[in-house]
Structure 1
Amino acid sequence: MRDLLDAPGLGLVVPDGPPQDLDRAISWAHTTEMRDPARYLRGGELVCTVGISLQTPQDCKTFADSLANAGVAGVCFGIGDGHDTVPSALLAQCRRRGLPVLIAAPSVPFTTVSRFVAEYELGAEIATARATNALVPELLSSLRRHDSARELLDTAGQLLECYFLLDSDGEPPAVSVEVPGLGTLGWVGSGDPPEPSLLELIARFVRATQVQRDVETALARERVGQLLSLVERRMLLPDALSQLLPWPGFAAARLTCSAWPAGAGALLSMAIPDALVGAAPDLCLMLTTDSLEMTDDLAVPSGHSAPVPLTEIGSAISQARIALDLAQRRGSSVGPDQLSTLESLLEQLPLAQLAPFKQQLIDPLADMDHQRGTQHVRTLRTFLTANGSLSETARDLYLHTNTVRHRLARIHELTGRDPLNHNDQAAFLIGLRTLDRGDPQS
């Protein structure tokens, strides 16, 4: 609890009164507007609420007793929505039950608090992911420049504010990993050492510098890349590939194409020696006859097509290219199953093309919510998530079904579109996705 209070940028404060026990450990953050949420709690949670259901002293007593009996860490009360201040009855009962209370201003969304708790709990994993996301593009650029292993390690050292040794003799540093054929890669620094997975990633790129310096192999990858690009542009028949390239995989009934960022060719050749790897100017292409699940270990964004016969490899290359574009935005791998969703389709369209859906369908609701403190956007989002079920929406929002109907009718009045109409539901969904793309915190 004290870490939350001291965290810069969160802006949480404690209520006036006697000191509280802020040394209680938090297991997770749980947001609720239920009067008695005990059955959803496991103990140790920071319970976040704006107190919509806490209208009477008895409501506050029931709520505080429920949390105390469940063994939660404390309460984070958001003012400005349901209450301008923390209800005095709630504060009094929390103090009786030994529950510390933190106050969040209207400018502090609970998502910010939840994110802080999550990052605190998963600090090492998140730090590794962030370092990986920062490192991989720079290390790929280093491979494209044909940098030496020393130059690549200097690039990694500058990003991580440390120094990496690569030595085949002497005593290895305390934090090190073996690089086959090159020696020991060791970390030297004054801060926290990198996680083993991050050090192994750097070691993989170090090995790739040796593969990249094989001029004959690099030229072969470039030739493959040129031929695959010609097939994609329909300037070369796919059947001609088997005559121009000595790759036994062409005999397979189906092939899978994957697209990778430019510079990844040496990594792919090293990791999947049986694949056909091509280096095009703007990306790397790879044909395989087997599953590509193992390539997740490369920590490089990639896009994958569905398995196709050789005659359809041109369309597979285009599919993999689209998937790579999505993967680079998401920082992960994208397969054909993820391309056939509304979300992926919307991600491929420019925001300017989607803007009318947000401007005409979502902005009027958001403006009304801001002016009058209503929750039309939240209600619409919950309704669509519940696949248009009034009863599920009412349950999720802790409302009566008639209240949900009234809000949906008001949305119809404000926008001219009916949330109960299937086509209009699709339009509202596009508007919400556009809102999320433009402002991830919304």
Structure 2
Amino acid sequence: MTPPPPGAPAEPAAAERPDTGAPTLRDVLDAPGLGLVASEGTQKNLDRAINWAHITEMRDPSRYLRGGELVCTVGITLQTPQDCQTFADALTKANAAGLCFGIGDGHDAVPAALLAACRRHDLPVLIAAPSVPFSKISRFVAEYELGAEIAVARATNALVPELLSSLRRHASARELLDTAGQILECYFLLEPHGTVDTLEHETPVVAVDVPGLGTLGWVGGGDEPEPALLDLIARFVRATQVQQDVEAALARERVGQLLSLVERRMLLPDALGQLLEWPGFAAGALTCSAWPAGAGALLSMAMPEALVGDAPDLCLMLTSETLEMAEDLSLPSGHSALVPLTEIGSAIGQARIALDLAQRRGRRVGPDQLSTLDSLLEQLPLAQLAPFRQQLIAPLAEMDRQRGTQHVRTLRAFLTANGSLSETARDLYLHTNTVRHRLARILELTGRDPLSHNDQAAFSIGLHAMDREAPA
């Protein structure tokens, strides 16, 4: 490697080098919802990238750091100048991005010895007021890199139900675009190919091609939409043309009626091959997928070789192989396992159950996810799960609320660690004996032993019920 020429600035350390997509100390400092301020003298190194926010009250947390963290503390263990020096040395050794000190709990101001030690190491110090919880900072850092994905997901969740409703009403492409524009507070153009970019508008135009129809253009203020969102709207625009094919729409409705009869055991699966012309029936095995009602035109366009049926409450699709394109359509979907034609009725029922779970979770659900405890519990009404929450989790939550204990958090971590005391202690930064003591206290409060396999299942059901009842 060729050394830099004399006098050239040294290459920045890993924590100083901006990481594409990751927030910097300056981003955190400038975030209006956080209200952080920089300590006096912290003017440089604010462009260091932050890969995580780590909360600690240890004098030497270096063994838990990997580099690039914004270390948050209220300084409970930083009582002497030597404590402060040890802490600053540890953060520098671990190549932390910076320090965020919360005042008002352990100290009314950042200790002068800590500020001096951080200045010697060129370690930036941000100050958080008592009203700024560290969890808010952690959430900002965690969501920063996912900002675009989160925006697309939120817009997609708002768009898809309305656009599906438009397809079911046989809306035109213009009507569908007007619906999308109302939701996103902008305007969409659909012009012949090559004309959108030449039009004069007060705001920039972002465009995407719609094969066979023209160019879809976005006109509006604020941030321009992500390409994935435009592609989604473009697929719905194309689907309006497929939807207007009356013969094809009637054919999908007939398929939907026949598949519904098979599901209700009013028609033998073997009869489908006699009533419908579809080469997939010759395959040794089929898979069924269930989609939201109104998605038939989209599916026919995306999977022309599949058999698509429109039923009143959902859309069904048969294919001769498992699907890998469910995520591309941005729709929740439920999928069965591969089954012979004679078992297609049970496959439809399996896909229907999977779709119900997918609509709650907002993503694709396959047959492998139907065989989990969580999937089974999601199919049960909350009334059946309520005793588990009331008898096993509510007493713990009430004790945590009254005394500031962490029984529910400890129990959840213990179950996630498959009953391992050592893993739970490591995940919670506790001593193993502390975890053991908390589990013993849970036994006293509930009469059920977290170390017992059967009781662990009962606690898991109680936590699931609590999570389902929690407001979104």
Regarding TM over 0.5, the answer is yes
Does the Cα contact within 8 Å between 1:73 and 1:100 map onto a contact in 2? no
Distance 1:235 1:35, change over 3 A: farther
* 1:161 shift after superposition: 1.3
Query: Of residues 84, 98, 111 in structure 1, which corresponds to 2:105?
Result: 84
CA separation in 2, counterparts of 1:372 and 1:380? 17
Aligned length: 434
Does the Cα contact within 8 Å between 2:85 and 2:117 map onto a contact in 1? no
Stretch deviating more after TM superposition (62-71 or 360-369): 62-71
* 1:176 shift after superposition: 1.2
Between the aligned residues of both structures, percent identity stands at 74
Amino acid across the alignment from 1:139: L
* 1:51 shift after superposition: 6.1
Does the Cα contact within 8 Å between 1:68 and 1:99 map onto a contact in 2? no
Encode CA deviations 1:99-139: one digit per residue, 9 max, x unaligned: 424436588461x4333223322222221222122111111
Given the two structures, how large is their TM-score scaled by the length of structure 2? 0.84
Structure 1 position 160 matched with structure 2 position 184: yes
Q: Which residue of 2 aligns with 1:96?
A: 117
Amino acid across the alignment from 1:122: L
Q: Which residue of 1 aligns with 2:246?
A: 215
CA separation in 2, counterparts of 1:90 and 1:350? 54
CA separation in 1, counterparts of 2:50 and 2:245? 51
Q: Could you say what secondary structure the match of 1:43 adopts?
A: coil
User: Following superposition of structure 1 onto structure 2, how do residues 281-300 of structure 1 map, counting pairs within 5 Å?
Assistant: 281-300=312-331
CA separation in 2, counterparts of 1:232 and 1:415? 44
Does the Cα contact within 8 Å between 2:321 and 2:338 map onto a contact in 1? no
CA separation in 2, counterparts of 1:108 and 1:32? 11
Distance 1:234 1:72, change over 3 A: same
Does the Cα contact within 8 Å between 1:275 and 1:287 map onto a contact in 2? yes
RMSD: 2.7
CA separation in 2, counterparts of 1:351 and 1:157? 38
CA separation in 2, counterparts of 1:421 and 1:36? 36
User: Following superposition of structure 1 onto structure 2, how do residues 183-202 of structure 1 map, counting pairs within 5 Å?
Assistant: 183-202=214-233
Amino acid across the alignment from 2:410: T
CA separation in 2, counterparts of 1:401 and 1:44? 29
Q: Which residue of 1 aligns with 2:148?
A: 124
Does the Cα contact within 8 Å between 2:255 and 2:308 map onto a contact in 1? yes
User: Following superposition of structure 1 onto structure 2, how do residues 184-263 of structure 1 map, counting pairs within 5 Å?
Assistant: 184-263=215-294
Gaps (5+ residues) in structure 1? Answer: none
Does the Cα contact within 8 Å between 2:84 and 2:114 map onto a contact in 1? yes
Amino acid across the alignment from 1:283: L
* 1:361 shift after superposition: 1.4
Stretch deviating more after TM superposition (182-191 or 114-123): 114-123
Amino acid across the alignment from 2:106: T
Q: Which residue of 2 aligns with 1:333?
A: 364
Given the two structures, how large is their TM-score scaled by the length of structure 1? 0.89
User: Following superposition of structure 1 onto structure 2, how do residues 40-439 of structure 1 map, counting pairs within 5 Å?
Assistant: 40-49=64-73, 54=77, 57=80, 60-76=84-100, 84-86=105-107, 92-94=113-115, 96-97=117-118, 98-103=123-128, 105=130, 108=133, 110=135, 112-168=136-192, 171-173=195-197, 174-439=205-470
Query: Of residues 53, 60, 63 in structure 2, which corresponds to 1:30?
Result: 53
CA separation in 2, counterparts of 1:84 and 1:411? 29
CA separation in 2, counterparts of 1:77 and 1:245? 70
Q: Could you say what secondary structure the match of 2:189 adopts?
A: strand
Gaps (5+ residues) in structure 2? Answer: 1-24, 198-204
Distance 1:108 1:88, change over 3 A: closer
